Amino acid sequence: MSAQLPGLTSRIRASQVSTGRHYFALPTNPGEQFYMFCTLAAWLINKAGRPFEQPQEYDDPNATISNILSELRSFGRTADFPPSKLKSGYGEHVCYVLDCLAEEALKCIGFTWKRPSYPVEEVEEEIVPEDDAELTLNKVDEEFMEEETDNEENFIDLNILKAQTYRLDMNESAKQEDILESTTDAAEWSLEVERVLPQLKVTIRTDNKDWRIHVDQMHQHKSGIESALEETKGFLDKLHNEISRTLEKIGSREKYINNQLEHLVQEHRAAQAQLSEARERYQQGSGGVTERTRLLAEVTEELEKIKQEMEEKGSSMTDGAPLVKIKQSLTKLKQETIQMDIRIGVVEHTLLQSKLKEKSNMTRDMHATIIPESTIGSY
């Protein structure tokens, strides 16, 4: 298999080393898992004989998933699940899609699975050497269990425990000497280590909130920025050179045009100067016209007033209505004068009557006062 699929095996091994065997089965980092899924799916589609563009990290996820599912259906595979199931980058559907694409890639290159051949191992080689500390702890636990089962009174003898500890120390020292004097073949030991190594591998689930994940992401982004900067810098330098050449061409062309059209520029400047002088004269003339227009308006207004006064005087001279009014006023005054004379006469007559009456009363009073005095004198 390694001879027929060197790229596939290397990619799978690298993926297992960096991400683990259950990378697409368990959630760790959805964004990174989705990008790895798209990249691996595109690589498998290309290996299956169908051209497929390698997706980028900032592409539209919906469009990428739709393209992958369309390629999967073109191979005759069913995809009766919503495309949103693949956005997380892990799960049953992601593993199903990768499995189908891997099978199609193997079919395309004509790979066939062979019957596995198991090596014949001796009984001694089946014994996996364990750590001395683990053997010691296991032996201690077994002896303690035997002591507890055999002892009906359910207690531990300190002398027995000391003897066991001494025996264990002796066994450990003896084993260390055996290790120093080992005659095991190095090649057989390496094969045994490779066989047992997958069982001793410990997979630690990474936490998205761990600072190491953020540091790794920062390094990834930094490398991505640096690679993009190098490419962009080349384009920018090329664009800068093109713009510089264009500016030089424009400058030289401008100088040529200025030299060729120098006399026309001088004429244009002279025309501009004449135009400015004419505008100044026009402004001055416009100012005088405005002042004279204002004076004309004032004179016209005064003329209108004089005409109105003349018309009023002419109409009053030719019209007889005022004379009629004057005659009517005089007649009314005469009537009022006659009424006032009558009233004055009535008032004078009333005053005269009152004066006469008062005079008669005074006379009567005088006579009434004088008569009694005369009569008193005679007595």
The mean pLDDT value of the chain amounts to 77
Instruction: Specify the higher pLDDT residue, 249 or 168.
Output: 249
Burial of 91 (0-12, 13-18, 19+ CB in 10 A): middle
**112 CA to centre of own chain:** 54
Structure tokens at 121: 């191992």
* Model confidence pLDDT, tens digit, residues 119-132: 776 555 444 444 44
Cα–Cα distance measured from residue 172 to residue 195, given in angstroms and rounded to the nearest whole number = 26
Residues 287-315, mean pLDDT to the nearest whole number:
88
Amino acid 295 reads L
Amino acid 246 reads T
> Cα-Cα-Cα-Cα dihedral of 202, 207, 212, 216, to 10°?
100
Q: 233 phi and psi, to 5 degrees?
A: -65, -40
Residues 1-16, mean pLDDT to the nearest whole number:
43
- Which range of 82-91, 162-171, 212-221, 239-248 scores highest in mean pLDDT? It is 239-248
Q: What do you get for the CA distance between the two ends of the chain, in Å?
A: 195
Instruction: Specify the higher pLDDT residue, 142 or 48.
Output: 48
Supply the pLDDT for residue 319.
67
301 — pLDDT class (breaks 50, 70, 90)? very high
Four-residue CA torsion sign, 284, 285, 286, 287: positive
* Model confidence pLDDT, tens digit, residues 73-94: 888 888 888 888 888 888 888 8
* Model confidence pLDDT, tens digit, residues 135-180: 444 454 555 455 545 444 444 445 565 566 656 666 655 554 444 5
Lowest mean pLDDT among 49-58, 175-184, 201-210, 252-261: 175-184
Cα–Cα distance measured from residue 202 to residue 204, given in angstroms and rounded to the nearest whole number = 6
Cα–Cα nearest to 87, from 114, 109, 68: 68
Say if CB 192 and CB 130 are below 8 A apart: no
